[in-house]
Chain A
Amino acid sequence: METVIFLIFAALALGSSLVVVAHKNPIYSTMSLVLTLFSVAVLFVMLGAPFVGVLQVLIYTGAIVVLFLFVIMLLNLQRTGRDDSRMAGQSLQIIVALGGAALFALLIALALSRTSLPPVQALTADMVSLKLLSRQLFTEYLLPFEIVGLLLLVAVIGATVVARRPPQADTTTSYVESTKGSEP
Chain B
Amino acid sequence: MYNLLIGGAAGQGIDTTVSILEKLLRYSGYNVFTTRDLMSRVRGGHNFSLLRFGIEPIHSHSNQLDGIVALDEDTIELHTNQLKDTGFILGDAKLSGFDPRLIRIQMDAMAKVLGNPRVSGSIAVGAVLKLFGESLDNVRAVLQAFVKEPYLDINVKAVEDGYASTETHFSHLHGVYCDQMLISGSKAVALGAICAGLRFYSAYPMSPSTAIMETIASKADKAGIVVEQAEDEIAAIHMALGASYGGARAMTGTSGGGFSLMVEALGLSGMAEIPLVVIDVQRPGPVTGLPTRTEQSDLKFVISASQGEFPRMVIALRNAYDAFYQTMRAFNLAEKYQIPVILLSDQYLGDATFTVDPFNPEKIQIMDPMSEYTENKEYLRYHYSENGISPRLVPGKTEQLVAIDSDEHDERGWITESAEVRTQMMDKRMKKREGLKRELQEPLFIGDNDFETLLIGWGSTWGPIEEAVTLLNKDTNTRYGALVFGDVYPLPVKQLQEKAAKAHHIIDIEQNATGQLADLIRQETGILCESRILKYDGRQISGEEIVERIRKGAVQ
Q: Do A and B bind each other?
A: no
Q: List residues of chain A with CB under 8 Å of any chain B CB.
A: none
B residues near A (Cβ < 8 Å) are: none
